[in-house]
Structure formats: C-alpha cells, structure tokens
A and B are shown apart, each in its own frame.
Chain A
Amino acid sequence: MVEVGQKIVKIDGPVTRELILKYAKASGDNNPIHINEEFAIKVKLNGVIAHGMLSFGLGARHLSDFAVECNGTLFNLGCEMRGMVRPGDEILTTITVKGIQDNIAEIEMIQNSRMSLNLKKDGTVIKIFEGEERGWVSEKEKHLITTEETAEGTLTYREALVNKGWAKIRLS
C-alpha cells in the first residue's frame, strides 16, 4: 500500500574509483574527468569525480526497487544535477511519495553526497580521509560540515545536495 508522505532512505557507497571505472565501461562514458586523475587535476577539478549519471543510476535502482515494492511500474524519472560526487563519498537517496492521482504515484528523490573528512577519538584525530587531505570541500561548502558520533569515534563530514530528482510510478 503506497501512501502520500511515505519515505525511504537508502545509502550507497562509499563510491570507489573501481566503481567509477565499472560505470564508465558499462555506460560508455569515458570522459577523462571521471577516470584519469592527471587530466582531472589539469582541468582544475583537483581529482576525478564520479559520473553524474552514476549517482542518478544508483537512485534509479532504488526507484525501480520501490516500484516493485508498490507492485507498480516506473515509467518516468529524471533529475537536476546539483553537485559533484568524489571517490569515498556515500550517497544518501531519499525517496518520498508526494502525491497520488489517477493511480499514479508522484515521487520526489533527493540525493546527497556525504564526504567523510576525519575521525576523532577522545579529541585526537585518528584518521584523515581523502576529502580532507585533498581539500575537496570548497569555501562555500564549509557551512555544510557537521559531526556524528559513531562506534569508531567522532566523524566529521560534509553533506551536500547532488541530485534533485523525481519519478512517476503507475500503480496497478
């Protein structure tokens, strides 16, 4: 039973360079900004970025799964691309049923990337992640940095919008 307001959250990743390569091969998108570290540095990206269509693809997978759960058919999906995903990022996909009309569920899909920066234990940094090492958080994203208590210690990370998406599922 699908209901307006129903929400599911899925976490993918961390995205690895291997996954980016696998996606490049599978999709035929071999743009060097995704697969060639030297090139990505040369064009001032400070390292490779994942394909926008990879993060959207991960979201499409969750939309497809949700359609199966609803016993429905996913027949429309899209997104506006708003941000970059780096190796090491986790992708949080939030799917919300915004409305149901004429047996069609209108879905919102928000995807955020979570970039781990460092891990502290008793106030001492015990691990620095690539995002912090390479300065991947821009000045204008600094306000998006936050912390979370985990079993390993205090994790500092930056969470930012990657894709603002939508979908339509025909319910049977």
Chain B
Amino acid sequence: MTERDEEYFKQFIGLEFGSDKYRIKGKNLSAYSRAIGDLNPKFFMEKPEGDEKPDYSKILAHPGYAATYTIPGLLMRLAEVVDSDGEKLVKSIGKLLHTSQEYNYDGCEPLTQADKKVFTKGKIVDIFVKGERLWVELLYTSTNKEETKTYCKTTIKGLLKKGGF
C-alpha cells in the first residue's frame, strides 16, 4: 500500500456515521453514579431491601454518564470507516488511543429511564497527521429517535499511533 499523505485524510472530514442505539435503564444510571461515588439522590437510588421493586423514575443520568453512550462509538465506528476505494482508514484498532472528551449539555434535555433509548450519531470534524500520529476529532450528538430531544453533544479526540493508519 502506498504511503497516505496529509491530503488523503482530508476526504474524511465531515464524514458522518451512526446512529448507534443505547438502551437507558434506571438501574444502570444508578449503578454508574454508585461506581463514581456520587450518591446524590438526583442521580442515585439505593436498591430497596427485600422484594420491593425499585423506582428509578425520579433519577437523572449523571453528567459523566455520557461516557457510556458515546465512547464505545469511537472504537466501533472509526474501525469501520473506509475511503473512496474501500480501504479502511484504521489499519490497526489496537493503535487507537482515546485522548480527550468534552460533554456539552447546553440546551440539552436531562436523560431519564423514561427516555428508554439514546441514538448517537458521529461526525469526523478534523483529522490530520502530526508527529507520525493521526489525530482525529469526532463530534457526537445524542438524541431520541425522532431527534426532537438532544441529550448531549460530545467531542471526542483520539489518535492512531504509527502503523495504525
């Protein structure tokens, strides 16, 4: 295969992928908050003792919870991206490193178990080679199926080490 130059990667800017579907369950929202030690009743509900069924309807997704419905997409979807000749952008997924993320909830709706599912779409907003590494910036938008509610806008950056692209 020929060496890919800077110009080659520009074809991927603006490429959209998804949407990926994630199920939202109240017990998972609560378990996430417990794992990060946040027992604020806004985000967490103690499992009742005995046979009593827990009611998770009052809790919201923690601001950190977006990790669960955006980060997996970085790995899964980037590995599937192909160029105009059908060649994969990512040659070795093992060389991919997730380097940063930002969750933006400005103008977004809170997420609860009543929403049931989140649909996340991704878009490559920047891609360039620097220091023998391929840097990729992705923007994910997480909405309901009808796209009438937005839950989170996520920017994720990653890099592919030499040999990975």
Contact = CB atoms under 8 A, between A and B. Distances in A.
Interface string B132-165: 0000000000000000000000010100000000
A81 B98 CA distance: 8
B31 A65 contact: no
B37 A58 contact: yes
Contacts of A19: 35
A65 B37 CA distance: 11
A75 B104 contact: yes
A56 B35 contact: no
A60 B100 contact: no
A27 interface: yes
A27 B68 contact: yes
B102 A28 contact: no
Contacts of B77: none
B64 A61 contact: yes
A78 B103 contact: yes
A154 to B, nearest CB: 29
B31 to A, nearest CB: 4
Given A29-B72, A80-B99, A81-B98, A54 B35 contact: yes
A25 to B, nearest CB: 7
A64 B104 contact: no
Interface string A65-82: 100100000111111110
Nearest to B71: A53
Interface string B54-80: 000000001110011001100000000
B102 A76 contact: yes
A27 B103 contact: no
B104 A53 contact: no
A81 B157 CA distance: 10
A117 interface: no
A26 interface: yes
Given A12-B37, A27-B32, A57-B35, A78 B102 contact: yes
Contacts of A25: 31, 35
Contacts of B43: 64
A28 B63 CA distance: 17
A136 interface: no
A64 B62 contact: yes
24 contacts: A25-B35, A28-B72, A29-B68, A52-B98, A53-B71, A54-B35, A57-B35, A57-B36, A57-B64, A58-B37, A60-B38, A60-B62, A60-B64, A61-B33, A64-B40, A64-B43, A64-B64, A74-B105, A75-B106, A76-B106, A77-B64, A78-B102, A78-B103, A78-B155
Interface of A: 12, 19, 22-23, 25-29, 52-54, 56-58, 60-61, 63-65, 68, 74-81, 166
Interface of B: 28, 31-38, 40, 43, 62-64, 67-68, 71-72, 98-106, 108, 155, 157
Shortest 3 CB-CB contacts between residues of A and residues of B = A78-B102, A60-B64, A57-B36
